[in-house]
């Protein structure tokens, strides 16, 4: 309980009792019942040396192909605010900036933040300060005669100022404002989460477009080689060197390869549409930049935040913490409602039968009042509301723990994806190189009659599959890099003031 030293000198003798009630209310103002909120402790079993059960290698495997460079994990290195710049693509940077400026999802998140801020202002203005209202009225009345000889019709004019205030004796107002401030924090981190998701979606969509373009190019190369081989077989058929079934088989192979092109073109078109919408533009926008894997640089240095710092970096975790803080404040509000509620009010004004009488000193009136309301019996409603607030806090705490666990899972998944996809690209590059050599050898052997056409066909199919798979493996490494930056929080805390709604 907080106590302040107060005196009664400012109260007249006939107002001592009223002053006593007022001073008692103000004497304990400054205390707040209910739990004080503290940032949650790190999850049990947290280790700062690794996100995974087995220690991660500091360097990934490399492959002698574009996008196959080894990547080095730098433990504890900070993340740039514009993390997508690590791909060194001016087109990607312009598209991300356009998305941040024009995407309606970002606009909605920022509007929700402004709404939370104004709700706090309204809550603070309505509860933390006295309410002062001016009143001016004029009335014309008639009273029943009841045997009186005077005229029962008269006018009454009134001008007054009314003041009312509810002292925050047990902290109900402070807890309510604490909860409203937590709601602002939640919306602020929601803005950061929306920005991180938007930038990651733009980067991922750009990488997907680049992958699809590379797959289309690889398919076109395979298709051109197959058609060239079909022309050779056609000449052999005219010379009587092969049967017509060989030509039909080759045509079938060409048709099967050509049939894979429309799905890739469809996926590319849909990816372009998605990029346009992410940038806040119509799908018909003609000047959208095009992306290819060759225009992206795979970063060779990757920052890796310490596990103990992850929960303070992820905006979704911070937003969940804000909800937990809000739930804690609601427990304080429900607790304060169990205690007495104090009210202070007063008014000062003048009244008269005509407007000019409002300026006479004899017509002045005033009053002061203090009230105390102590809940005695309400069928257990207030205690039930407090238990409900405590249950809501427990639910928010459980949701917070789930969000933290999900964050650590995202980082662990991204790290393992970086490791295994680098190994997969290395193996795929070897497989593609061997398949290319095997196809070249099979062509020479077929031309010399050393193998049948079926042997050549198998070599063609093997090369086609490994060539397309190599392109997909290359794109996966770029996507894994973007996923790691997203999982680590995106570096919003390094944004300069005014760059966004960074708390």
pLDDT 10s digits, 260-274: 999 999 999 999 999
d(CA 226, CA 258): 10
pLDDT at 358 over 90: no
The answer to whether 330 and 389 have CB atoms below 8 angstroms apart is yes
Selection from 122, 292, 278, 118 nearest residue 202 by Cα: 278
Q: What is the CATH number of the domain that holds 241?
A: 1.20.1600.10
Query: Is position 324 within any domain?
Result: yes
Report pLDDT for 297: 94
For 419, the token pair is 């490791």
Report pLDDT for 387: 95
Helix-helix angle 315-336:381-447, to 10 degrees: 170
d(CA 314, CA 312): 6
The number of CA neighbours under 13 Å toward the Cβ of 228 is 8
pLDDT tens per residue across span 374-395: 888 888 999 999 999 999 999 9
Query: Is position 82 within any domain?
Result: yes
Q: In what order do the strands lie in the sheet with 153-165?
A: 131-142, 153-165, 341-352, 364-373
Asked which of 227-236, 288-297, 302-311, 478-487 is least confident by mean pLDDT, the reply is 227-236
Residues with Cβ within 8 Å of residue 87, at least 6 apart in sequence: 203, 296, 297, 298, 299, 478, 481
pLDDT at 486 over 90: yes
pLDDT tens per residue across span 286-321: 888 999 999 999 999 999 999 999 999 999 999 999
Q: Are strands 364-373 and 341-352 parallel, antiparallel or unpaired?
A: antiparallel
d(CA 230, CA 224): 10
pLDDT at 485 over 70: yes
478 to 297, 412, 470, 475: CA distances (angstroms):
9, 17, 13, 5
Report pLDDT for 144: 66
pLDDT tens per residue across span 50-103: 898 888 889 999 999 988 999 999 998 999 999 999 999 999 999 999 999 999
Asked which of 6-10, 25-29, 314-318 is least confident by mean pLDDT, the reply is 6-10
The answer to whether 28 and 3 have CB atoms below 8 angstroms apart is yes
Helix-helix angle 172-238:244-259, to 10 degrees: 160
The answer to whether 70 and 276 have CB atoms below 8 angstroms apart is no
Report pLDDT for 28: 46
pLDDT at 397 over 70: yes
223 to 143, 253, 255, 257, 465: CA distances (angstroms):
104, 9, 9, 6, 12
d(CA 369, CA 296): 74
What average pLDDT does this structure show over 154-168? 87
Query: Is position 172 within any domain?
Result: yes
Residues with Cβ within 8 Å of residue 331, at least 6 apart in sequence: 34, 35, 386, 389, 390, 393
Cα torsion at 104, 109, 110, 115 (round to 10°)?
130
Residues with Cβ within 8 Å of residue 432, at least 6 apart in sequence: 463, 466, 467, 469, 470
The pTM (predicted TM-score) of the whole model is 0.84
d(CA 502, CA 179): 19
Selection from 224, 221, 227, 218 nearest residue 250 by Cα: 227
DSSP 190-258: HHHHHHHHHHHHHHHHHHHHHHHHHHHHHHHHHHHHHHHHHHHHHHHHHTTSS-HHHHHHHHHHHHHHH
Query: Is position 499 within any domain?
Result: no
Per-residue DSSP letter, 497: T
Query: Is position 162 within any domain?
Result: no
pLDDT at 47 over 60: yes
Report pLDDT for 232: 83
Query: Is position 248 within any domain?
Result: yes
187 to 100, 176, 198: CA distances (angstroms):
17, 17, 16
For residue 462, the enclosing domain spans 34-128+168-339+382-494
pLDDT tens per residue across span 125-136: 888 888 899 988
Beta strands in 305-457 (DSSP E): 341-352, 364-373
In the chain, the number of structural domains is 1
The answer to whether 271 and 212 have CB atoms below 8 angstroms apart is yes
**Which of 22-31, 327-336, 463-472 is the most confident on average?**
327-336
Query: Is position 87 within any domain?
Result: yes
The residue among 318 and 142 whose pLDDT is bigger is: 318
Selection from 131, 122, 127, 125 nearest residue 184 by Cα: 122
Report pLDDT for 498: 59
Report pLDDT for 145: 63
Report pLDDT for 30: 56
d(CA 224, CA 220): 6
What average pLDDT does this structure show over 325-339? 94
What percent of the chain is predicted at pLDDT more than 90?
57
d(CA 78, CA 491): 8
Asked which of 7-11, 313-317, 445-449 is least confident by mean pLDDT, the reply is 7-11
Report pLDDT for 8: 32
Asked which of 99-103, 132-136, 354-358, 409-413 is least confident by mean pLDDT, the reply is 354-358
What average pLDDT does this structure show over 362-379? 86
How high is the mean pLDDT of the chain? Answer: 87
The answer to whether 55 and 67 have CB atoms below 8 angstroms apart is no
d(CA 267, CA 71): 29
Band (pLDDT 50/70/90 cuts) for residue 146 is low
Query: Is position 3 within any domain?
Result: no
């Amino acid at each position: 309980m907080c106590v302040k030293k107060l005196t009664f000198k400012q109260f007249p003798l006939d107002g001592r009792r009223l002053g006593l009630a007022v001073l008692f209310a103000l004497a304990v103002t400054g205390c707040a019942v209910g739990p004080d909120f503290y940032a949650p402790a790190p999850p049990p079993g947290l280790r700062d040396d690794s996100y995974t059960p087995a220690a991660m290698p500091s360097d990934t495997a490399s492959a002698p192909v574009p996008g196959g460079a080894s990547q080095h994990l730098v433990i504890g290195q900070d993340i740039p605010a514009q993390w997508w710049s690590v791909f060194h693509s001016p087109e990607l940077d312009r598209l991300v900036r356009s998305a941040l400026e024009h995407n309606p999802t970002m606009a909605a998140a920022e509007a929700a933040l402004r709404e939370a801020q104004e709700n706090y202002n309204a809550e603070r203005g309505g509860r933390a300060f006295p309410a002062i209202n001016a009143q001016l009225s004029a009335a014309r009345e008639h009273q029943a005669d009841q045997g009186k000889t005077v005229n029962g019709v008269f006018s009454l004019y009134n001008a007054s100022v009314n003041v009312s205030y509810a002292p925050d004796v047990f902290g109900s107002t402070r807890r309510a404002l604490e909860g409203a401030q937590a709601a602002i924090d939640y919306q602020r981190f929601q803005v950061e989460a929306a920005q991180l998701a938007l930038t990651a979606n733009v980067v991922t969509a750009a990488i997907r477009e680049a992958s699809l373009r590379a797959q289309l190019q690889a398919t076109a190369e395979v298709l051109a080689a197959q058609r060239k081989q079909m022309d050779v077989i056609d000449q052999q058929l005219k010379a009587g060197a092969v049967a017509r079934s060989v030509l039909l088989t080759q045509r079938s192979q060409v048709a099967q390869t050509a049939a894979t092109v429309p799905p890739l073109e469809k996926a590319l078109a849909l990816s372009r549409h998605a990029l346009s919408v992410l940038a806040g533009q119509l799908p018909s926008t003609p000047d959208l930049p095009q992306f290819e894997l060759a225009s992206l640089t795979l970063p060779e240095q990757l920052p890796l935040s310490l596990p103990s710092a992850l929960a303070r970096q992820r905006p979704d975790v911070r937003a969940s913490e804000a909800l937990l803080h809000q739930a804690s404040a609601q427990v304080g509000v429900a607790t304060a409602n169990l205690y007495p509620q104090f009210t202070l009010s007063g008014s000062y004004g003048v009244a008269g039968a005509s407007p000019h009488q409002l300026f006479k000193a004899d017509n002045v009136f005033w009053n002061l009042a203090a009230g105390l309301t102590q809940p005695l019996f309400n069928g257990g409603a207030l205690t039930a509301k407090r238990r409900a607030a405590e249950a809501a806090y427990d639910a928010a705490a459980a949701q917070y723990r789930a969000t933290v666990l999900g964050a650590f899972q995202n980082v662990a998944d991204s790290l393992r994806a970086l490791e295994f996809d680098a190994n997969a690209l290395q193996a795929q590059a070897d497989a593609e190189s061997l398949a290319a050599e095997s196809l070249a050898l099979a062509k020479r052997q077929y031309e010399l009659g050393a193998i049948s056409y079926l042997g050549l066909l198998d070599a063609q199919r093997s090369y086609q599959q490994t060539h397309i798979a190599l392109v997909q493996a290359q794109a996966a490494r770029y996507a894994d890099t973007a996923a790691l930056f997203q999982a680590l929080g995106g570096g919003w805390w390094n944004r300069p003031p005014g760059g966004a709604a960074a708390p």
